[in-house]
């Protein structure tokens, strides 16, 4: 009797329930000691008993699923704890067994792994999207702690995809879409190519069944003739290598269906163009031989210009290394060739899993393991702020490996998403560098911060003490790390500003009531906070600053007066223009220092400042409790936006003359628009940067004196 049968014989009925267990034991026996195989068999017995009577949609006993997941991990040579967790991964969710039971029987490490891959059914969510995002977030955070979590999850998803046929069509398509959007890219990001290919093809088959069948049928038809061409060219490569004394293997590469489909979709090329591309892989002993072989095959067939990629010198983001070249083959047929060492080939197929498969070779796992750790540390930083949906969106941006590679001034390679800008680069170096960047140089030339980067450029970031991220950066940054850091800064800044504004508003309102924040005292404040259902004073100030609560009414609560006991006087507020996002200036009337203004409290946006002559005021008159008296501080040192309307004669160069006059007055033109044009005159609007009302009046006087200007007025809705 063989080893598997001997062990299985200890568990009555095991062979009847799951024939796959025999194969699993044989695989485990090839690399694990007997005592660890025994532990996995005990887990099988525990899981099979717990799942007794449960079946899958296909009608098979439920235990066949965990065993299939464990087999996938065993093929990767994962350790006994991960295999045990794979067999038990659905026990807590689907049976009466608890995590405590698992910890008691199999240890804390296995219990942690099982918990990490369990779904979040016990949590109530507002929507399916939120539930999916939160589940994904938990999985990714568990992965940061232990990479084995994602390997169990990916293997779980693979077997679910292999047995998806019994599911309803709508559910099948949803799971397939999720696989293509999330799970296959994660496998790719971790360098597990074999898993990625199977997940992609299964996702494609279930999401687009008709397209899949058409492609599959066409490929089967063309395989016969393809096989002959591939065989002939492979022999030609092998013969040339032998003559040069190069030891190596040449194989024809099978193209998988989803990659063919994506090429057709992205390049908008017909199937015949894609199918007629032949792929070859050449495996040699060392790196020097890779480059020697490249020169040899370039001598056999001419290389296509611009189609050579050196991923040995500059590895891909997931640690993949190889030389890629495309040749003009016989009769002009494109030949795609990959040249790599045996070690690179193992890593290309197994990625981070090569840590377990080839752990005897210490150097093998260095690149993918290190790169995976770098990515996971970035994930840890991203997840500290924002909602689950924001986290999911950020990570999805980071998962798709359309990467460019740029250099730091010291020559270090920095991988970034395609389309990334200098700001993305700054945040990739360090969050503090991103927060304080004010300028950038590409190849020693100053460029705008929104400049997209290209492969091979050297990028240098200029920082300044006290500089802060600009909210407008969110419109052009591409990397998850940059987006998350900017959003986080904005949230913190908004909170700080709103607390400051709210405190000032409340103090003003209390003074109108004959009191002040100092006089109120801690005891009365604590009592009022309890009455209002708030945790602390900062939360109250923030709500006041954002307009979610009114300062006059809150002041009356604090002094003990009723809401109707006082008059309608609202506390005044002195503004300096430096309050940030909590105070904004209405774009309908463009208020500037010197104008008579009022503030309007809007929930969530804080205070919006309007000119008293603004035409929109009539819309807000019905809510007088939301208006607040506002005055300007003296000697404000910043610029504001204002708008003027100019009627000019239709003359060549008049726009340039007006612009020059405005510039001479020390103002910057932010925007120009032509409102109307008649035979004799044109109406133009200018959006200008001005210091105050006096500065604007000086600009208008100088423009009015121009010979081709008929009329100048200040715009107001």
pLDDT-derived band at 377 (thresholds 50, 70, 90) equals low
Mean pLDDT throughout 135-154?
72
Nearest alpha-carbon partner for 214 in 161, 266, 272, 279: 272
* Beta-strand runs (E) in 254-344: 278-284, 309-310, 323-328, 334-341
Q: Among 76-85, 374-383, 508-517, 532-541, which stretch is predicted with the lowest mean pLDDT?
A: 374-383
| Residue 357 scores a pLDDT above 60 | no
Instruction: State the pLDDT at residue 626.
Output: 72
Phi and psi at residue 665, to the nearest 5°: -85, 5
Q: What percent of the chain has pLDDT over 70?
A: 78
177: helix, strand or coil: helix
Residue 577 near residue 689, CB atoms below 8 Å: no
Q: Per residue in 646-656, pLDDT tens?
A: 999 888 888 88
Q: Which two tokens stand for residue 487?
A: 């959003």
pLDDT-derived band at 146 (thresholds 50, 70, 90) equals confident
Instruction: State the pLDDT at residue 451.
Output: 92
Instruction: State the pLDDT at residue 252.
Output: 85
Instruction: State the pLDDT at residue 416.
Output: 84
| Residue 562 scores a pLDDT above 50 | no
Domains of the chain: 3-210 (1.10.3210.10), 214-364 (3.30.460.10), 402-478 (3.10.20.30), 488-632 (no CATH), 640-714 (3.30.70.260)
Rounded to the nearest 10 degrees, what angle do helices 64-75 and 80-88 cross at? 160
Q: Among 393-402, 448-457, 560-569, 601-610, which stretch is predicted with the lowest mean pLDDT?
A: 560-569
Instruction: State the pLDDT at residue 205.
Output: 93
pLDDT-derived band at 1 (thresholds 50, 70, 90) equals very low
Instruction: State the pLDDT at residue 97.
Output: 85
Instruction: State the pLDDT at residue 578.
Output: 60
Instruction: State the pLDDT at residue 360.
Output: 38
| Residue 568 scores a pLDDT above 60 | no
Q: Among 186-195, 235-244, 574-583, which stretch is predicted with the lowest mean pLDDT?
A: 574-583
Instruction: State the pLDDT at residue 130.
Output: 56
Residues catalogued as catalytic = 93-94
Specify the higher pLDDT residue, 123 or 611.
611
| Residue 314 scores a pLDDT above 70 | yes
| Residue 273 scores a pLDDT above 80 | no
pLDDT-derived band at 6 (thresholds 50, 70, 90) equals low
Specify the higher pLDDT residue, 717 or 268.
268
Q: Per residue in 26-69, pLDDT tens?
A: 999 988 998 999 999 999 989 888 888 888 877 788 888 999 99
Nearest alpha-carbon partner for 233 in 325, 330, 306, 157: 330
Instruction: State the pLDDT at residue 269.
Output: 78
Instruction: State the pLDDT at residue 340.
Output: 94
Specify the higher pLDDT residue, 396 or 264.
264
Mean pLDDT throughout 484-496?
76
Most confident of 138-147, 176-185, 278-287: 278-287
Specify the higher pLDDT residue, 275 or 435.
435
**What is the pTM (predicted TM-score) of this model?**
0.56
DSSP 357: H
Rg from Cα positions in the chain: 34
CA distances (Å), origin 347, targets 342, 352, 355 = 9, 8, 9
149: helix, strand or coil: helix
For 87-147, the three-class secondary structure string (H helix, E strand, C coil) is HHCCHHHHCCCCHHHHHHHHCHHHHHHHHHHCCCCCCCCCCHHHHHHHHHHHHHHHHHHCC
Mean pLDDT throughout 692-711?
92
Instruction: State the pLDDT at residue 361.
Output: 43
Instruction: State the pLDDT at residue 611.
Output: 86
pLDDT-derived band at 315 (thresholds 50, 70, 90) equals confident
Nearest alpha-carbon partner for 200 in 216, 218, 187, 215: 187
Q: Among 137-141, 416-420, 586-590, 650-654, which stretch is predicted with the lowest mean pLDDT?
A: 137-141
Instruction: Report the mean per-residue pLDDT for the chain.
Output: 80
Instruction: State the pLDDT at residue 131.
Output: 56
| Residue 145 scores a pLDDT above 90 | no
Torsion sign, CA atoms 82, 86, 91, 94: positive
CA distance 549 to 538: 13
Phi and psi at residue 333, to the nearest 5°: -65, 130
Residue 646 near residue 711, CB atoms below 8 Å: yes
């Amino acid at each position: 009797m063989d080893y598997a049968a001997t062990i299985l014989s200890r568990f009555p009925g095991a062979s009847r329930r799951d024939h796959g267990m025999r194969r699993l034991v044989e695989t485990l026996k090839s690399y694990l000691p007997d005592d660890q195989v025994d532990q996995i068999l005990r887990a099988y017995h525990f899981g099979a008993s717990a799942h007794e009577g449960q079946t899958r949609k296909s009608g098979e006993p439920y235990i066949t699923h965990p065993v299939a997941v464990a087999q996938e991990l065993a093929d990767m040579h994962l350790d006994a704890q991960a295999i045990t967790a794979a067999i038990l991964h659905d026990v807590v969710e689907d049976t009466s067994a608890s995590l405590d039971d698992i910890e008691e029987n199999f240890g804390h490490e296995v219990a942690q792994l099982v918990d990490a891959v369990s779904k979040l059914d016990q949590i109530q969510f507002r929507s399916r999207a939120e539930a999916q995002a939160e589940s994904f977030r938990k999985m990714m955070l568990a992965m940061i702690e232990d990479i084995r979590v994602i390997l169990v999850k990916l293997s779980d998803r693979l077997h679910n995809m292999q047995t998806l046929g019994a599911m309803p069509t709508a559910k099948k398509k949803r799971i397939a879409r999720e696989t293509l959007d999330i799970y296959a890219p994660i496998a790719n990001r971790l360098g597990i190519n074999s898993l990625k290919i199977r997940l992609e093809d299964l996702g494609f088959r279930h999401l687009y069944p008709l397209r899949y069948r058409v492609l599959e049928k066409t490929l089967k038809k063309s395989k016969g003739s393809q096989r002959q061409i591939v065989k002939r060219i492979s022999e030609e490569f092998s013969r040339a290598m032998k003559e040069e004394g190069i030891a190596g293997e040449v194989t024809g590469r099978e193209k998988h269906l989803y990659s063919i489909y994506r090429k057709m979709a992205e390049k908008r090329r017909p199937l015949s163009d894609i199918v007629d591309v032949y792929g070859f892989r050449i495996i040699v002993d060392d790196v020097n031989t890779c480059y020697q072989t490249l020169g040899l095959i370039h001598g056999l067939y001419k290389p296509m210009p611009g189609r050579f990629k050196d991923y040995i010198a500059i590895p891909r983001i997931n640690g993949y290394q190889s030389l890629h070249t495309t040749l003009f083959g016989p009769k002009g047929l494109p030949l795609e060739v990959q040249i790599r060492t045996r070690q690179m080939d193992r890593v290309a197929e197994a990625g981070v899993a090569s840590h377990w498969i080839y752990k005897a070779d210490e150097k093998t796992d260095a690149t993918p393991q290190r790169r995976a750790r770098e990515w996971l540390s970035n994930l840890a930083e991203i997840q500290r702020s924002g909602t689950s949906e924001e986290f999911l969106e950020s990570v999805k941006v980071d998962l798709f490996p359309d990467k460019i590679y740029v250099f730091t001034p010291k020559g270090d390679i920095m991988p970034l998403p395609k389309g990334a800008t200098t700001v993305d680069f700054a945040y990739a170096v360090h969050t503090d560098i991103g927060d304080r960047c004010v300028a950038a140089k590409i190849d020693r030339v100053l460029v705008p911060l929104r400049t997209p980067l290209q492969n091979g450029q050297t990028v240098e970031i200029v920082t300044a003490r006290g500089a802060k991220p600009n909210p407008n950066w969110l419109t052009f940054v591409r990397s998850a790390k940059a987006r998350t850091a900017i959003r986080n800064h904005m949230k913190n800044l908004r909170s700080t500003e709103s607390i400051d504004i709210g405190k000032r508003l409340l103090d003003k309102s209390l003074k109108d009531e004959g009191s002040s924040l100092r006089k109120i005292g801690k005891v009365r404040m604590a009592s009022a906070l309890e009455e209002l259902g708030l945790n602390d004073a900062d939360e109250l100030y923030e709500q006041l600053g954002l307009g979610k609560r009114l300062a006059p009414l809150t002041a009356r609560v604090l002094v003990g007066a009723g809401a109707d006991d006082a008059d309608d006087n609202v506390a005044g507020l002195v503004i300096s223009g430096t309050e940030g996002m909590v105070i904004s200036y209405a774009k309908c009337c463009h208020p500037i220092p010197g104008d008579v203004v009022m503030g309007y409290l809007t929930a969530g946006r804080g205070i919006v400042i309007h000119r008293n002559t603004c035409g929109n005021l009539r819309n807000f008159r019905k809510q007088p409790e939301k208006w607040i008296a506002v005055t300007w501080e003296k000697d404000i040192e910043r610029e504001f936006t204002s708008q003027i309307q100019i009627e000019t004669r239709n003359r060549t160069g008049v726009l340039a003359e007006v612009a020059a006059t405005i510039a001479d007055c020390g103002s910057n033109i932010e925007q120009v628009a032509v409102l109307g044009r008649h035979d004799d005159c044109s109406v133009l609007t200018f959006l200008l940067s001005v210091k105050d009302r006096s500065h604007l009046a000086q600009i208008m006087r100088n423009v009015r004196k121009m010979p081709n200007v008929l009329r100048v007025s200040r715009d107001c809705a």
